Structure 1
Amino acid sequence: MTLVKFSTAVAVSLVMGLGACTDPAMLNRDGTPSKERQGLIAGGILGAGIGALSNSSNKTAAVIGGAAVGALAGGLIGSQLDKQEAELRQSIANDRIAIVNTGDRLILLLPDDLTFATDSSDLTPSIRADLLKVADSLVRYPNSTVQVIGHTDSDGDAAYNQGLSERRASVVADQIQAGGVPYNRIRTIGRGEAEPVASNLTEEGKAQNRRVEIVIIPQ
């Protein structure tokens, strides 16, 4: 086994040891790993890989050091996301806005019928207040970028659906910017009908596909 392979194995072993940690603070109520713990593990593995590719004369130290730094950064990101998620759930009263914490980002799912009228890119009055609460959260957590992604179902012309998804993403982004978030933190994306999450053969499936996603990515 080469020195680099050995060093990487050592660091990964350390990270996996963290993964086996039974500290209650690192576990959810059901015993699954918390987002902070997941971030520590993912960050440690990434840091180990970076250390292995470094030009340091002491590869073992570089890999282990990279794992430690990566784990710390990953843990901080996971902890921040947990806190921001909890605050968003408390401030957004509408339970139809789903919030998904993947461990490295938050995804807010805005259903189409809550956000827009049929075949329109004009925001409904009810969603504007919730988007301003999202903006307030982003102002308080400035170390992140935001993707606003529009999606449609497959009814109608694909080119029209693409344009509609882009317009809807832009309108949501404009409302977030109006809440004080600099536009250089926001990227708008239109996916049209290209990324369904359900079947377009049923009305229920098409309703799920018509959505806007707000993706918050810590930096």
Structure 2
Amino acid sequence: MITLSRTNLTLAIAALALTTACAGTGGPNDNRMAGQGAALGAGLGALAGAATGDDRSERIRNGLIGASLGAATGATVGSALDRQEQELRNQLGGNVGVVNNGQNLVVSLPQDILFATNSTTVSGAAAGNLSTLARSLQQYPNSTVNVIGHTDDVGAAAFNADLSQRRAQAVSSVLVSNGVAANRIQSIGRGEDQPIATNLTPEGRQQNRRVDIVITPN
């Protein structure tokens, strides 16, 4: 295992700082996630490159090359996330949440608009949103998709876990029927284990009943 010298680390950090500065100079239309992706890619690329080579000068050179390549890749991924996020916000209904955390997009659909009580049949109204999402996934094919079902804590935990899994699978099936490759999608049931609000109020329980579709660039 190669230990990075102080010089290597300094150069990696300098490359990261330079890339971050350059990524943020695009003015008011600058893509925030493109800049973050470039910075992260530069740092990872610099460290990966600096860990290769037979001597210190070669490792320094490889670190700078890695920073440059990593920055370009990270910026491309971040920019694609920005575009897809904005398009989905414009195309999906107001009840659908879209969050871009810089590493993936999380599209949240309330289960109350997806399914009737205790049902795993996707409603006609929700099918339109899923069709729109499927078109977006086909337009941006270089990603994997986790469809994650969640419930509130009303009822038995085992029943909720099974229901959330079947609902996640139902959403996945709609995406596949609308042209998304099945090998890109994984269906996961979390039941009541990952609430985003209190289960002590009707409003909180309503927020917890949801399906999250997590889109992660490859």
Change over 3 Å in CA distance of 1:26–1:213 after alignment to 2: farther
CA drift of 1:208 comes to 1.0
Q: Distance in 2 between matches of 1:12 and 1:56?
A: 21
Q: Distance in 2 between matches of 1:54 and 1:26?
A: 36
2:9 aligned residue: 8
SS in 2 for 1:148: strand
2:60 aligned residue: 60
- Alignment gaps of 5+ in structure 2: none
1:74 aligned residue: 74
Q: Distance in 1 between matches of 2:84 and 2:54?
A: 37
1:196 aligned residue: 195
SS in 2 for 1:17: helix
Change over 3 Å in CA distance of 1:42–1:156 after alignment to 2: same
Q: How does 1:72-151 map to 2 (within 5 A)?
A: 72-92=72-92, 94-151=93-150
User: 1:144–1:185: 8 Å Cα contact kept in structure 2?
Assistant: yes
CA drift of 1:5 comes to 3.6
Change over 3 Å in CA distance of 1:189–1:55 after alignment to 2: farther
Q: Distance in 2 between matches of 1:69 and 1:22?
A: 14
Identity of aligned residues (%): 43
CA drift of 1:116 comes to 1.1
- Alignment gaps of 5+ in structure 1: none
Amino acid at match of 1:13: A
**CA offsets per residue over residues 43-69 of structure 1, 9 Å max, x none?**
111112212332454111111111111
CA drift of 1:101 comes to 0.9
1:152 aligned residue: 151
Q: Distance in 1 between matches of 2:80 and 2:53?
A: 32
TM-score (norm 2): 0.91
Q: Distance in 2 between matches of 1:55 and 1:22?
A: 28
CA drift of 1:210 comes to 0.9
Q: Distance in 1 between matches of 2:172 and 2:181?
A: 10
Q: How does 1:20-39 map to 2 (within 5 A)?
A: 20-21=21-22, 23-25=24-26, 34-39=32-37
Q: Determine if the alignment matches structure 1 residue 212 to structure 2 residue 211.
A: yes
SS in 2 for 1:122: coil
**CA offsets per residue over residues 7-61 of structure 1, 9 Å max, x none?**
12211122123323485426568xxx71110111111111122123324541111
Change over 3 Å in CA distance of 1:104–1:45 after alignment to 2: same
CA RMSD in angstroms comes to: 1.9
CA drift of 1:106 comes to 0.9
